[in-house]
């Protein structure tokens, strides 16, 4: 081992190739569900092992799916269809044809479906939200409706919904507020599982607001609420638009405005706040192009240690072809952002790009999801828009409208984060290539020079963020050189394999503080040998 490390450190990088700028990672893709003729899936919401889908053009407003033991999604029987209960309206007139579901939110045993076009108290498009709860027998029941206290025509209450803990947030982007006419508003309700909800607070944009579409999207993470206003004027007299308003829960349980976020590079032809999501201390905001504004981009913001929201690094598309409406949908999980875009041209299905944050805060394109493997043969233009809606949970991406697709990443997982030079030790490496790569051959790669721009892997069509160096050469030339065991092999029938990085006791202290990175490549063997996958990279640090 020490000779391998000395060789790598002493000689330096043998070769660093440049060229392809696209980090193309293969993923498992499965078709979740196809909508019936005359209906359309318009929004998705996932909570743990349950998935809710809002439907437009049907007597039922939504579907509930459950994750099976084999990983597939199936209807949550005995009653997976979510039907509105008109007897719950308390004398308010709802017309079935007005129930066009545009937004959805979910907790594991409850689902909210917003219908901004529904008629309330004779007011067209005043809007409502139907709340469903899963009963002990497994059936989903409509337990209440939420509306504004004073419904008015075209309020569009229910255009967006979010549900986290006891808090429900509902956007009403055309509603009059204390800040002006048609400024928009967000209604915050408090509730408990299965219990009636109480209107807690009505939020409005700071005056003067104008027609800002405040409440177009809402998202909640813990005690933080994010509200988009894509038509909010950034600078008086400027045509650049879009703001995101951030509220935090105060000790008295009131939601207080703490930040107004806007583009760090405002542009007349981009619409900031076209989408937004939050997870913990990270907010991601879509800024898709309008007119001739180019491909669009996304902005990210982080909450500092003193609680201040500050601009982080933006994310620009890195495709070899130009996307349309990059940022039209967005989802955040930990330090990963998934961004949806439409694509121009006939039979364009759209794309979701998945980005992860580097240690310096910049963003790395991990993979592009197009759904081409699962697309029906009779696919026609605009029928299968990957990127229209995006959900991200446990690394899995759900997206689509007429067809909902699930993308589960193939990955490399690691055990311990560090290995002792003095005492020796090991790091377990678990290869998960997915069922599609069952019985594929695999080869592990390594680098002591860290991570860098996408670099082509010789002999494959793939790129990696590993900086290919003398350690890479030593591993390949020495078939693992006693450091990685096994260095190569065959994935099992589930597409998995295990390996081990081992460091002997008494390793030279000069290597303390060094960080090694590993990744793997797979090759299909039948009917001919062909590269099939390159994984993410994982690190291990040599500690004292």
pLDDT per position as a tens digit, 102-112: 678 888 889 99
Q: Are residues 200 and 303 in the same domain?
A: yes
Q: Which of 327, 354, 370 is the last residue of a domain?
A: 327
Whether residue 342 is contained in a domain is answered as no
Co-location of 247 and 122 in the same domain: yes
Whether 472 and 526 map to the same domain: the answer is yes
Same domain, 7 and 112: no
Q: How far is CA 196 from CA 186, 193, 514, in A?
A: 19, 9, 57
Check whether 537 has a pLDDT greater than 60: yes
Residues 39-67: pLDDT tens digits? 666 788 888 778 888 776 655 578 888 87
Contact 243, 264 (CB under 8 A): no
| Closest C-alpha among 204, 214, 208, 279 to residue 244 | 214
Instruction: Provide the phi-psi class of 49: left if phi over 0, else alpha when psi is between -120 and 50, else beta.
Output: alpha
DSSP H/E element including 216: none
Give the long-range contacts of residues 67-71, CB within 8 A, separation 24 or more.
Answer: 71/408
pTM: 0.74
Same domain, 251 and 283: yes
Percentage of the chain lying above the pLDDT 90 cut: 32
**One domain for residues 423 and 317:** no
Asked if residue 534 belongs to a domain, the reply is yes
Q: SS3 of 89, please?
A: helix
Q: What is the pLDDT of residues 459-488, one digit of tens each?
A: 887 778 788 998 888 888 876 667 898 989
Tens-place pLDDT, residues 368-381? 776 544 344 443 34
State the pLDDT confidence band at 206, using cuts at 50, 70 and 90.
confident
* pLDDT exceeds 90 at position 245: yes
10 and 124, same domain (yes or no): no
> Does one domain contain both 140 and 278?
yes
Are 14 and 100 within one domain?
A: no
Residue 389 lies in a domain: no
For residues 310 and 444, state if they share a domain: no
Question: In the beta sheet, which residues pair with residue 75?
Answer: 65
Q: Tell me the backbone φ, ψ of residue 478, rounded to 5 degrees.
A: -100, 15
- Dist. CA 360–CA 318, nearest whole Å: 19
pLDDT at 520 over 50: yes
> Is residue 444 over pLDDT 80?
yes
CATH number of the structural domain spanning residue 532: 2.60.40.10
According to the model, what pLDDT value does residue 69 have?
A: 62
pLDDT at residue 282, rounded to an integer: 97
300-325 tens-digit pLDDT? 999 999 999 999 999 988 764 555 67
pLDDT band at 147 (very low <50, low <70, confident <90, very high): very high
Final residue in a domain of this structure, among 290, 305, 327: 327
Number of compact structural domains in the chain = 2
Q: Are 286 and 353 in contact (CB under 8 A)?
A: no
Is the domain of 53 the same as that of 12? no
pLDDT given at position 285? 98
Pairwise pLDDT comparison (144 vs 49), residue with the higher score: 144
> Does residue 333 lie in a domain region?
no
Question: The domain spanning residue 134 has which CATH number?
Answer: 2.130.10.130
Q: What percent of the chain has pLDDT over 70?
A: 78
344 lies in some domain:
no
DSSP, collapsed to helix, strand or coil, labels residue 304 as coil
pLDDT in tens, 354-409: 888 887 889 988 777 765 443 444 433 444 467 788 988 877 888 876 667 777 66
The pLDDT value given to residue 379: 38
Using the 3D structure, point to which of 327, 354, 382 is the last residue of a domain. 327
Please, which contacts does 134-140 make with residues 24 or more away whose CB atoms are closer than 8 Å?
A: 134/64, 134/76, 134/109, 134/110, 137/78, 138/76, 138/77, 138/78, 138/79, 139/78, 139/79, 140/64, 140/76, 140/79, 140/80, 140/81, 140/82, 140/111
Pick from 391, 431, 423, 425: which is nearest to 407 by CA? 391
- Asked, for residue 32, whether it belongs to a domain, the answer is no
Same domain? For 140 and 186 the reply is: yes
Among 254, 386, 261, which Cα is nearest to 328's? 386
39: which 2 tokens?
A: 């209906």
Is 398 a domain residue? Answer: no
pLDDT digits (tens, 9 = 90+) for 336-352: 999 988 765 545 567 88
484 is in which domain, residue-wise?
2-22+412-543
What mean pLDDT comes out for the span 410-417?
78
Residue 354 three-state SS = strand
Distance, CA of 244 to CA of 308 (rounded, Å):
14
User: For the chain, what is the mean pLDDT?
Assistant: 80
């Amino acid at each position: 081992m020490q000779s391998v490390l000395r060789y790598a450190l002493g000689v330096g990088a043998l070769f660093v190739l440049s060229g392809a700028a696209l980090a193309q990672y293969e993923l498992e893709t499965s078709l979740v569900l196809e909508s019936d003729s005359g209906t359309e899936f318009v929004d998705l919401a996932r909570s743990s092992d349950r998935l809710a889908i809002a439907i437009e053009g049907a007597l039922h407003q939504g579907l509930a799916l459950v994750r099976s033991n084999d990983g597939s999604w199936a209807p949550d029987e005995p009653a997976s269809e979510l039907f509105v209960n008109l007897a719950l309206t308390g004398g308010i007139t709802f017309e079935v044809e007005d129930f066009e579901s545009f937004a959805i939110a979910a907790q594991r045993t409850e689902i909210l479906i917003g219908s901004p076009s529904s008629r309330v108290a004779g007011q067209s498009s005043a809007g409502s939200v139907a709340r469903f709860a899963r009963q002990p027998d497994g059936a989903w029941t409509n337990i209440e409706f939420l509306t504004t206290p004073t419904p008015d025509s075209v309020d569009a209450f229910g255009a967006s919904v979010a549900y986290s803990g006891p808090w429900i947030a509902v956007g009403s982007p055309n509603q009059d507020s204390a800040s002006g006419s048609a400024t928009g508003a967000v209604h915050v309700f408090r509730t408990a599982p299965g219990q009636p909800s109480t209107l807690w607070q009505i939020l409005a944009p700071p005056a003067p607001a104008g027609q800002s579409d405040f409440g177009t999207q809402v998202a909640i993470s813990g005690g933080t609420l994010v509200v988009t206003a894509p038509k909010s004027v950034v600078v008086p007299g400027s045509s650049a638009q879009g703001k995101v308003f951030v509220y935090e829960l105060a000790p008295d349980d009131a939601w207080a405005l703490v930040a107004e976020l806007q583009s760090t590079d405002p542009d007349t032809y981009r619409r900031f706040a076209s989408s937004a999501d939050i997870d913990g201390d990270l907010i991601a905001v879509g800024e898709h192009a309008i007119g001739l504004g180019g491909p669009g981009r996304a902005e990210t913001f982080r909450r500092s240690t003193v609680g201040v929201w500050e601009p982080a690094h933006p994310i620009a598309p890195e495709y070899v072809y130009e996307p349309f409406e990059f940022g039209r949908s967005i989802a955040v999980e930990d330090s990963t952002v998934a961004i949806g875009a439409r694509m121009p041209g006939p039979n364009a299905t759209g794309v979701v790009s998945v980005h992860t944050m580097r240690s310096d805060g910049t963003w790395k394109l991990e993979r592009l999801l197009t759904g081409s493997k699962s697309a029906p043969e009779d696919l026609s233009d605009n029928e299968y828009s990957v990127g229209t809606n995006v959900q991200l949970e446990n690394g899995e991406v759900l997206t689509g409208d007429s067809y909902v697709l699930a993308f589960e990443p193939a990955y490399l997982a690691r055990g311990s984060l560090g290995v002792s030079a003095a005492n020796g030790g090991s790091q377990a490496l678990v290869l998960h290539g997915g069922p599609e790569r069952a019985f594929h051959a695999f080869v592990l790669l390594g680098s002591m020079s860290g991570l860098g721009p996408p670099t082509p892997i010789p002999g494959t069509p793939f790129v990696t963020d590993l900086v290919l160096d003398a350690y890479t050469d030593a591993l390949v030339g020495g078939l693992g050189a006693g450091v990685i065991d096994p260095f190569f092999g065959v994935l099992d029938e589930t597409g998995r394999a295990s390996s081990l990085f081992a460091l002997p006791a008494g390793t030279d202290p000069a290597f303390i503080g060094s960080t090694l990175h590993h990744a793997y490549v797979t090759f299909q063997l039948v009917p001919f040998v062909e590269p099939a996958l390159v994984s993410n990279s994982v690190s291990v640090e040599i500690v004292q």
